[in-house]
Structure 1
């Protein structure tokens, strides 16, 4: 049996591909691109033709770079496709044009697969991983997972860096909405009746990894996930990044965070800061591993057993 698998995660803003070694649980190669699939989604309720064209271009590019058979890849897509009224039409188009067969997964499955990846990552980084809180800030949704040994509770919240940015780009209601989101998250946490004081706060996805990279003196072009993984960031690091953003030109910010992320990074940091406050935490462990790794590991555990 072939012990290699390719997993594809088509998110609201990012497109991520991974070639994974099931036997040794190691990444062979990876490719990431910003595709802006959720651009205009808040206003129109649909995935635009322009966004579809960007996704198709990114898929074809990834096939060249990673060298994989699109018919054999395990492909998932998340919040933007869950929300779009033309999602089935878009999926049919992508399959016809690229042969990638995407499955829309719900927030619960997204949380389960992301948690699976993070558990493996914590073990790899030799970080105690029995009890922890996990945050995954996406483009169209935000998942919070509370892991207690072999059990976990998860909730997907209907906001992300892209949708929140689009919604409040021309208004001053962002802080008010973040306060409302804080109350919503607190209700979920209170319902669990757990003392979180000794639970490490773990965060994955683009915003936390960008902050960790900036803290390490990296930029988008020198980003090294192996160095970022396991790094701790604190509230001062978030303030430092916000200050850099306020005092830098668009070109300087693009060099730091990458094209297609410039307009969303500030809102991402503010969401991250809000979660820090809800958890009453002063620091957070950052990991690059997320959904696409979870999809690959899940496949390895269920399909590659001898």
Structure 2
């Protein structure tokens, strides 16, 4: 069995590739690009031809950079493909054009695999992984996972940074909608009858890692996941980021967050802030590890064992 594998996570906004060493549980190399797959999805219910061309260009570029055979890669895709009415034809087209075989995974499986990656990451960072609430803010969905020792409860909420940005062009409408989302999340958390005082708050995905990077003085071009991993972010850090974005030119914001994230980062911060408030937490541990790492670890644990 080959001990080196490649996993691909095609999200609603981001495209992330990982080459992983199963034997030593180490990242060999990675590739990240914003492809904006969910652009226009809210209005049309379709993934556009333009978006899928961006995905194809990203896949071909990642093959050059990481050197892998797309037919051997373990490929998953999430909320945008779950919600698009043309997803089957898009996946067939990708298979013909670039030889990738994507599986659409549901919110439960997305949560399970992301949790697997985060538990590994917490152990690697020597952070207690017994009791924590995990937030994964995606482009088209947001997952909340409550881990208690070896069991967990998860819920996938049908909103993300891209879909909320597209749905609410008016700031007041967005704020009202977030208040409704807050009630929905509170209902889920209350139904678990858990006292969250003993639970740490962990966050993954582009919004938390961007805030952590800015706090550390990094920008999109100097981003270092090894330094970002384990960074503590608080509400003040989020307010600082919002102020930076308000007082910066679009060019400066692109340098900080990367092209393709500029339009969504503020909504991401509002979602993150809302979860802080619901959980009544002062700080959050940020990790870069997410779905693509979880897919790799899951494969290593089930297929690579001798």
Matched, 1:59 2:33: no
Aligned position for 1:91: 91
- Give 1:299 deviation, angstroms: 0.2
Structure 2 CA distance, aligned partners of 1:156 and 1:258? 26
Matched, 1:17 2:35: no
Counterpart of 1:177?
177
Alpha-carbon offset, residue 198 of structure 1: 1.1
Q: Could you give the per-residue CA deviations for residues 253-285 of structure 1, whole angstroms, max 9, x where no partner exists?
A: 000000000000000000000000000001000
| Divergent runs of 4+, >6 A | none
**How far off is 1:172 after superposition?**
2.9
Cross-structure match for 1:222: 222
Q: Does residue 1:101 correspond to 2:83, yes or no?
A: no
Indicate the residue corresponding to 1:74 in structure 2.
Answer: 74
Whole-angstrom distance in 2 between the partners of 1:34 and 1:119? 26
- How far off is 1:118 after superposition? 0.1
Q: 5+ residue gaps in structure 1?
A: none
> Could you tell me the TM-score, scaled by structure 1's length?
0.99
Q: How far apart, in 2, do the equivalents of 1:149 and 1:100 lie?
A: 36
1:102-159: per-residue Cα shift (whole Å, max 9, x none)? 0000000000000000000000000000110000000000000000000000000000
Map of 1:203 onto structure 2:
203
CA distance in 1, matches of 2:172, 2:226: 38
Tell me how large the CA RMSD over aligned residues is: 0.6
- What pairs up with 1:200-279 in 2 under 5 angstroms? 200-279=200-279
Shift of 1:187: 0.5
Summarize deviations over 1:212-260 as a string: whole Å, max 9, x none.
0000000000000000000000000000000000000000000000000
For 2:194, the equivalent position in structure 1 comes to: 194
Shift of 1:98: 0.5
Give, in whole Å, the separation in 2 of the partners of 1:73 and 1:59.
Answer: 11
Structure 2 counterpart SS, 1:289: coil
Secondary structure of 1:165's match?
helix
Q: Given the superposition, is the C-alpha separation of residues 277 and 171 from structure 1 closer, same or farther in structure 2, using an over 3 Å criterion?
A: closer
Q: Aligned equivalents of 1:222 and 1:33: distance in 2?
A: 15
SS at match of 1:139: coil
**Number of matched residues?**
306
SS at match of 1:202: strand
Q: How does 1:276-291 map to 2 (within 5 A)?
A: 276-291=276-291
Residues 261, 112 of structure 1: alpha-carbon distance in 2 compared, 3 angstrom cutoff: same
Q: CA deviation at 1:169?
A: 1.8
Counterpart residue number, 2:141: 141
Equivalent residues in 2 for 1:93-172, closer than 5 Å:
93-170=93-170, 172=172
Where in structure 2 are there 5+ consecutive unaligned residues?
none
Residue 170 (structure 1) shift: 4.2
| SS class of match (2:172) | coil
SS at match of 1:262: coil
Whole-Å separation in 1 of the counterparts to 2:39 and 2:218 = 27
The Cα of 1:2 is off from its aligned counterpart by 1.2
Aligned-partner Cα distance in 1 for 2:71–2:222: 32
**Secondary structure at the residue paired with 1:174?**
helix
Secondary structure of the residue aligned to 2:305 is coil
